Amino acid sequence: MGQGSKGLGFLRNRFAVLVYGLALACGPSPQERGGDDARPESTESGSTRALSHPGDASTSTTAGGSVLWEEQMTPLNAEERFRQRCPSADDAQGPTLYVANTGPRDFEAPLGSVANPFFTIMAAVKVAQPGYVIQVREGTYPEQVAINPLKARPGTATAPIVLRGEQYRRPRIVPSSTDVGSLLVVSQPYWIVQAVEVDVEERPSFAALFEDSTTCSQLTDSVLHGGRAGGGVVVSDASRVLIDGNSIFDFSRTGLDSHGVAVKGVSREVFITENNIHDASGDGVQCQPNLGRPSTVFIERNQMYDCGENGIDVKACDDVAIHENVLFGFPNLERYPWQATTSAAEAVLVHEDATNIQIVGNLVFQAGRGISIGGLALVDTPVNVLVQGNVVTDIYNFANRGNGQGIRIARAHGVRVLGNLIERTVDSGLRLAADEPLVVTNLTVLDNTLRDMRSFVKLGRDTARPGLRMDRNRYEGATGRFSAFGLLSDGDFTAWRERLTPYGFEKNSVRVTPGDDPDEEPLPMLVGE
């Protein structure tokens, strides 16, 4: 793993746009729908869709009054939105300080010059001022890089401080003889860390920690690996942090979780984009409360795989956008066998009392569940969740524990399941309010395509799903059954519609079997071509 995931161009160009468009295109045609209940159209590009409660428009604003979160359909470009609010490395126009711990030196030259570089990274960090660039040459640096108020100056909104390695010969930061909480700590604002390798060497430390008063700080194009603490990259009580284009892997604790990226506390405006995250004993990304709730978190265009538990786990967090990610290979029991009984291995899990969550345009495959909303605990009632335009395929019944669903809605309020493509699931493609005695209120299920599975839908009884809207779905394949508690124990599509249409459900949904649609082109192969 010599590079961060910026090299994985297919995430942006092949999967993200193509998958999102294909999923939306696979629903019933206008002629098949027959209804006039169309989706609202976007009126402004580059923003997200979120509601505090279904039917009530909601926005989230920053302290300066700029809107981050609006009622829209179009996935935003999170990295671009961050860069509109924060300076870039190009804004650092001050002197360059050089660091090298090998090579000849001219001790007559000024310290920190090309001819007489600093010997340690921290020596340069301590003297850097706003607008400076610290250029670190290749080599191994056994030190903690602590960018905190005791040891470093803050950058400014017009003059950030940049700590930069050489892109193809990244300097390698490793532990010294003393264990520390994190090898890289950023708690000062307007610091940009680029092109470094952080090798924790199986020590009980985070690779990187963004905390406290840091704002508009960044970690980009870096490689972070080898930690044995609770996470690889941790954002704690920080604001406006960009984690972009990194390779994050090999974080684990025997018998315990270690997450690739963890966002916790009262963190605000955290942008996790275009990273390659894998081989963590816990989740690829976890958003969790800790004496406060994270909010306005963007998880966009990442690739996550081979983690011990889930791909993305959202607990008590608000305003979270999960857009255009590629998630597969959960759980990784070869490396983390202790996780066999701790998780259903969901690619995306939203639970506790999370609010305003978007799950849009993701590609999910090879997981115990695709997308799961809500859970069995009393606190598990997410509010206002949009699940739209995702491709969910090849989902298996992990450990034979009754999972294997494409999309499962267990307990929640105001969930919209719109225009998804679900195929090849061992259990039901859609499991909706079917976990008695749990209740799902105001659930909307429209324009989805389900293909090639034994059970298309398992629907809970009417008392478990007040406010349900369900129509214009498309069911494809040679076989596939339906069930609805209290209405139909097991039946084909004809029986399904006969039982549901008197209640206003599935009036314009269609069943397509082989030979019914001769002109339909198959989806192009996206993986493993």
For the stretch 71-104, pLDDT in tens is: 444 445 888 899 899 999 999 999 999 999 998 8
Confidence of residue 4 (pLDDT cuts 50, 70, 90): low
Query: pLDDT tens digit string along 410-463?
Result: 999 999 999 999 999 999 999 999 999 999 999 999 999 999 999 999 999 999
Whether residue 300 lies inside any domain: the answer is no
* Most confident option among 85-94, 508-517, 518-527: 85-94
Whether residue 408 lies inside any domain: the answer is yes
Q: What is the pLDDT of residue 285?
A: 98
**Within 13 Å and on the Cβ side, how many CA atoms surround 310?**
21
Whether residue 358 lies inside any domain: the answer is yes
Q: Please count the structural domains in the chain.
A: 1
Confidence of residue 514 (pLDDT cuts 50, 70, 90): confident
Instruction: Name the CA radius of gyration of the chain, rounded.
Output: 24
Tokens of 220: 């980009």
Whether residue 474 lies inside any domain: the answer is yes
Whether residue 479 lies inside any domain: the answer is yes
Q: Is 13 a residue whose pLDDT tops 60?
A: no
Whether residue 368 lies inside any domain: the answer is yes
C-alpha distance from residue 529 to each of 290, 305, 394, 524 (Å): 43, 18, 16, 10
C-alpha distance from residue 460 to each of 303, 487, 510 (Å): 34, 9, 21
Q: Is 487 a residue whose pLDDT tops 50?
A: yes
Query: pLDDT tens digit string along 476-485?
Result: 999 999 999 9
Which letter does DSSP use for residue 253 in this model?
B
Whether residue 495 lies inside any domain: the answer is yes
Q: What is the pTM of this model?
A: 0.86
Query: pLDDT tens digit string along 179-201?
Result: 999 999 999 999 999 999 999 99
Q: Where are the beta strands (DSSP E) in 43-176?
A: 51-53, 56-57, 60-61, 67-69, 96-99, 133-136, 140-142, 145-147, 161-164, 172-174
Whether residue 511 lies inside any domain: the answer is yes
Q: Is 47 a residue whose pLDDT tops 80?
A: no
The amino acid occupying position 423 is: E
Q: Is 105 a residue whose pLDDT tops 70?
A: yes
Confidence of residue 511 (pLDDT cuts 50, 70, 90): very high
Q: Is 63 a residue whose pLDDT tops 80?
A: no
Q: Is 44 a residue whose pLDDT tops 60?
A: no
Q: Is 16 a residue whose pLDDT tops 60?
A: no
d(CA 326, CA 501): 36
Segments forming the whole domain that contains residue 432: 354-515
Q: Is 528 a residue whose pLDDT tops 50?
A: no
Q: What is the pLDDT of residue 80?
A: 87
User: Which of residues 248 and 520 earns the better pLDDT score?
Assistant: 248
